[in-house]
Structure 1
Amino acid sequence: MLARPVTWWRRQSLRFRVTAAATAVLALALAGSAYVFVAVLGEALVRSIDDQVYQRGREIVALSDANRLSDPVVSVDNTIVQVLDRDGRIVDATPNTDRLVPLLSAQAREAAVRTGEPDFLDGRPYALPGPLRVRALSADRGVTVIVARSFGEVESSLVTIGHVLIAGMPLLLALLAAVSWLVAGRTLRPIALLRRGAAEVGATARSRRLPVPEARDEVHALATTLNDMLGRLEEADARQRALVSDAAHELRSPLASIRLQLEVALSHPEGQDWKETAEGVLEDTLRLSRLAEDLLALARLDEGRTGRREPVDLAEMARRTAERYGLGLDLPPGAAPVVLGDALDLRRVLANLVDNALRHAASAVRIGVRAVGSAAELTVTDDGPGIPPEDRERVFDRFTRLDDARSRDDGGAGLGLAIVRTTVEAHGGTVHLEDASPGLRAVVRIPLAR
């Protein structure tokens, strides 16, 4: 049964829930405050009456002890006074009370004198309206003074205050609910604008941004964050579209070459060198295969699917690569730097850097490995023409090749350095190109394994 109200509550709008919660909290606070106010006020009024009764009683006791009591006793502020002798007979009293029947019985008088505390007394049996606050004090010669005062006025005042509070609280709650509804609506208006703005963002309006409120509050931070996210998504979408376009362009060339060679061979089969045709088709097929492998590698890295992490000895990996390609090797003495990563991915990084260096080197390529602080540094240096400083970052973009590389048949698809950067960043490292004077040096830094 409890699940239904909870479900109903969760389905209401945030504006309604904020207003209802604020109104409910204020209702509880007002009810508690009203109860405390009435209780404290009632106690204060009772204490005031008790003080007046006690002061009047002390005055009568003093007058009785001095034999100066008037007959009848003067009534002050409608205070009721009865003076009883040792035998319990009323010897003096105010005009507003009975002179025959004491307000308190002998047992009650004895208890009141002993405790010295006032008490409530029903005045109706004594033809007095409402309840009374009564107190008994002892005087000389066995005289007892009974002093009382009507509590009806205080009771009537408390009832009136209660009625005012009961009638005013709903009006106050209604006013607060209306104000809360308006304030919540104005507070949530920027969120409504964000919602409408987000609904208008679509495939045809990728560059659209959400409205940012002027107030530097949480909604402003939310709108800024969402706009940053839209910017990143737009940038990722642009990269994806560029990747698809460039991939289609790179695939078109070998496929067109294969188609052309096969069409020529089939059109003139009698004069065709089929071995040469097969070699040409095989070369273009290998180019397609390398492109597909590079695209799959980039897709895997973009999804964050790296291989298992294990200690990799960069010095040993560099030594084997140098031996396979016949390259120079620079290894410092001492312990070899070891990083934590996927050995296959790191070997691909080194192979791509070496292949790129060999394509542009004039005579020599060298591999270097050393520890620099808390990172392992892997370098591949060639003595080729190098790359202008303004292009050293651009070559890490996908399908980016400089003009001289595009003119070469073995220039590749422009994915080698993009795979290098993506792989190195997945291992928490950095890669950049610098001038080797002459030539170019690729520098890879990866944190050392702890």
Structure 2
Amino acid sequence: MPKAWRSTRFRVALTSFVTSLVALSVVSAWLVLDAQNRLGNGAAQVARERAAAVVHVLNTGAAPADLGFLVRGSIYEVRTRTDERVASCPGLRSRAIVPDGGSAYGDSVQYLKPGDIDLASRESVGCARELGEDPERNGIRLHVTFTVSGDSKYRIYGAAIVDESGQAALDSVRVTLLVGVPVIALLIGAIAWFAVRRSLRPVEAIRSEVAEIGAHDLSRRVPAPDSADEIAKLAETMNTMLARLDTAVTRQSRFTSDASHELRTPLASLRTQLEVLLAHPDRLDWRDACRNALLDITRLQDLVGDLVLLGKLDNAEPDRAAPVRLSEVVESCLSGRRQGVRAEIGDDPMVFGDRGRLERLLRNLVDNAQRHARTGVEVRTSIVDEFAVVTVTDDGPGIPVADRERVFDRFVRLDDGRARDEGGAGLGLAIVAEIAHAHGGTVEVADYDGGARLVVRLPLAEVRS
């Protein structure tokens, strides 16, 4: 199959052509048949009335020979049961309107030839008005009906001329439709072809632009038409998808770079200590060297664990929808911590989620607060506007306004945090943000003059259910 035949334009045009051809053909055939039936029904009604008039005259006792004077302006023929002609419309030759093959009840169509009509006879008073003045005219179509008299002695055939002008007009309409319907269907198919071609022009532009966009050039966007149709929505969706891909690729690149740097530092330190220990075993205390190596391994283990957790959160791993009381999460997180951390359970909200990850969220917040606090940390739970709210406050130096959104990015540590030896890799608050988002909530740095205040909002279990 040629490539052009597989295109959407061709399929839509072909479908439009075939559909319109079938529909127009069915409608045209119905109209022609209906008009033909109307013409035939009109002649059939007249023929039945004429046959009934002849039967009525005969039933009154009149002789068949008197029909020429009693029945005028009518086309008929009367025959006996032995098929002998006894009366007919003057000017009509014998058996001109009698169907071939004998008689039977019902209607039929007969055609009169020039030899079947003798209009030159002076006696053709009744038929002349019906059959016309031209003895050479042929092809006169009659609708013939057959019946019998009341005493069953006579067979009566009544006829009426089918309207020739109406039939001619109908034949003209039939020829016109026979030629016009395919032409109109073809025109509809051509219009559909050009309409689809014009409609798909923006789609082709979108396809061409997407084909040229590479993995390292996701900043480009597809052209969006000014119309508000489905193609414009497609372009908008494509641009939104490209924006998400651009953000994801940029974030992944930065994450890979930062992760490699963070992993390289403890690995280099560990390797240096081991090389020095092997080179100078008599100058170093192997216990201190092993203790330092263990610290580096622990740091690597924590960093890898954080990276694995972030990878799971990035893959949108579904959380286990189990009801969790935040008071129990706070109690589990704060048990065993040193002095200076206190909890205030104003309300006891319940949320749906993974208890282990919610405990990890609160533990990271408290660890971050303790790392920067001067004297103490406060954890508070409450219910605000159908949300469970967890607030962690410390009295440390606080977070500058310019960095309040950036602190939730991965591998971000402020200068104060980087100056501390016990500082993490900058993944703690990023994990907090991912866990909160996975539970349908948010986390933000709130305004607070005495230090830093981080607020987590999670939907209540009653609202989510």
TM-score range, shorter chain: 0.7 to 0.9
**19, 34, 52: which one aligns with 1:25:** 19
Using the alignment, how far apart are the partners of 2:389 and 2:308 within structure 1? 27
Instruction: Between the two structures, name the one with larger relative contact order (CA 8 Å, sep ≥ 6).
Output: 2
Post-superposition Cα deviations, 1:196-231, rounded to whole Å, max 9, x if no partner, equal: 222222224322222323332111111110111111
Counterpart amino acid of 2:441?
G
Counterpart CA distance in 2 for 1:121 and 1:322 is 110
Q: Return the match for 1:196 from 195, 203, 208.
A: 208
* 1:150 aligned residue (152, 157, 161): 161
Work out the CA distance in 2 between the residues paired with 1:328 and 1:81.
Answer: 120
Unaligned regions of 5+ residues in structure 1, if any? Answer: 1-6, 61-68, 113-117, 138-144
Residue equivalent to 1:368: 380
The answer to whether residue 249 in structure 2 is matched with residue 237 in structure 1 is yes
Q: Which amino acid aligns with 1:328?
A: R
1:80, distance to aligned residue in structure 2 (A): 5.0
Aligned residue number for residue 401 of structure 1: 413
Q: How far apart, in 2, do the equivalents of 1:150 and 1:339 lie?
A: 91
Pairs within 5 Å for 1:206-355: 206-306=218-318, 308-325=320-337, 326=339, 327-332=341-346, 336-355=348-367
| Structure 2 match to 1:420 | 432
C-alpha distance after superposition, 1:24-70 (max 9, x if no partner): 1111112112211212222343456568889999999xxxxxxxx99
List per-residue Cα deviations over 1:270-297 (Å, max 9, x = no partner): 3223333223222222221111111111
Q: Alpha carbon RMSD of aligned pairs, Å?
A: 4.2
CA deviations over 1:105-138 (Å, ceiling 9, x no partner): 9xx99x99xxxxx87445459715443135799x
Residue number among 125, 135, 142 corresponding to 1:132 in the alignment: 142
SS in 1 for 2:425: coil
Q: Secondary structure at the match of 1:385?
A: coil
Please tell me whether the aligned partners of residues 383 and 436 of structure 1 are also in contact (alpha carbons under 8 angstroms). Answer: no
Gaps of 5+ in 2: 55-66, 80-84, 118-138, 148-155
Partner of 1:180: 192
Letter in 2 for 1:332: G
Distance 1:352 1:222, change over 3 A: same
Distance 1:54 1:323, change over 3 A: closer
Are residues 404 and 42 of structure 1, via their aligned partners in 2, closer, same or farther at CA, if it must alter by over 3 Å?
same
CA gap 1:102/1:443 in 2 versus in 1, 3 angstroms:
closer
Amino acid at match of 1:428: G
Q: Once structures 1 and 2 are overlaid, which stretch shifts more, 149-158 or 197-206?
A: 149-158
Corresponding residue SS for 1:305: coil
Match of 1:411 in 2: 423
Distance in 1 separating the partners of 2:196 and 2:319: 51
1:300 and 1:306 in contact (8 A); partners too: no
**Segment drifting more, 195-204 vs 407-416:** 195-204
Range with bigger deviation, 377-386 or 413-422? 377-386
TM (normalized to structure 2)?
0.76
Report how far residue 427 of structure 1 moved: 1.3
CA contact (8 A) 2:346 2:381 kept: yes
Q: Quick one: which amino acid aligns to residue 143 of structure 2?
A: R
Change (3 A) 1:269 1:101: closer
Separation in structure 1 between the aligned mates of residue 355 and residue 90 of structure 2, nearest angstrom: 112
| Structure 1 position 406, deviation (Å) | 1.3
Which amino acid letter does the alignment assign opposite residue 206 of structure 1? L
Distance 2:389 2:199 in 1: 54
When structure 1 is superposed on structure 2, of 253-262 and 380-389 the one drifting more is 253-262
Indicate the residue corresponding to 2:63 in structure 1: none
Amino acid at match of 2:460: L
**Residues of 2 paired with 1:150 and 1:331: CA distance?**
105
Asked if 2 retains the 8 angstrom alpha-carbon contact of 1:306 and 1:342, the reply is no
**Cα 1:94/1:395, change in 2 over 3 Å:** same
